[in-house]
Structure 1
Amino acid sequence: MSATSSKDWLAAHPPPDSAFVQSLAHVSARIRDGEELRFAVREFLDEFELLPRPDLMDRAIRERPALTGSAPADAYLGALAEHLAATRGLQRPSWAVEPERFLDRFWFLSAVPGFRALALAQSPAAFRRRGIFIAEGALQRV
């Protein structure tokens, strides 16, 4: 089944709202429990892409995540909330622009040679303004 037909099938057979449990607050809790940021975020994005309605998307980003103890992770969650709100036509959560959601130093998510130039050019605005640099495909899920 292709991705398009999967989305079409889900649109015709929507699961109950209670089936969608991921939120950025949940991602924060997983990070505080020792899970790596990238894995928790990927799972969140997998579910977020399946959300059939804007109110469910809003619910997934609205609740303020507790601080994780990692400044880069806290800033990343703020950037992700702002980016998802901007790209889905949602209101940006107020917690996403709290001072602790910004970094004092640049953070490049990879040390691979050539990544910095690529990330400087491709990072979404919500990430760049926090000093976080990611590749264009980092937020895309299959």
Structure 2
Amino acid sequence: MKSVQQYQAASIARLASWLTDHSDDETRWRLISEFLEEYRHEPPVVRLALLTPEPSSVGDPHWDVFLAALAEHLAAKEGHAGPPWSESRRLHQFWFPFNTPAARVDAFVHAPASFRRRGVFIHPQELEVA
């Protein structure tokens, strides 16, 4: 008899492995949206646990730093500090994932603190799930 595997929301470490497996930005943003949707439906105690395991490198420092900023951002929304692994991840040059003149200005003004302090400029609306 085949065993049934129980549903379990993906951790940020699992998200990193998905991003590693897909190098095109469109797919990566869909995977991030899926992660955020699953995360949103979990109870607060589970949410924090999903951010705890340190993700392996995606192979691109932009995305590695993005994951650190995302983990800190989500933890802060729950009233917690970011996971310890996220502290050391920073970019040496600003990165605007959505790089049009209007998006750059909007992101520069409105980027969440956890992203801004790491050099990643993204509008918070990009982190919302419909």
TM-score scaled by structure 2? 0.87
Alignment equivalent of 1:97, drawn from 87, 102, 112? 87
Task: Establish whether residue 40 from structure 1 lines up as the match of residue 42 from structure 2.
Answer: no
> How many pairs were matched up?
122
- 1:21 shift after superposition: 2.4
2:65 equivalent in structure 1: 75
2:40 equivalent in structure 1: 49
2:112 equivalent in structure 1: 124
Aligned residues with identical type, % of pairs? 34
Q: Is the 8 A contact 2:9 2:39 kept in 1?
A: no
What secondary structure is seen at the aligned counterpart in 2 of 1:43?
Answer: helix
Matched to 1:44, the amino acid is F
Deviations 1:30-72 (A, max 9, x none): 1111254312211100101111x22200111110001111000
**In structure 2, do the counterparts of structure 1 residues 106 and 95 end up closer, same or farther at CA, with 3 Å as the change threshold?**
same
Matched to 1:77, the amino acid is L
Q: Is the 8 A contact 2:13 2:54 kept in 1?
A: yes
- 1:20 shift after superposition: 2.9
- 1:89 shift after superposition: 1.6
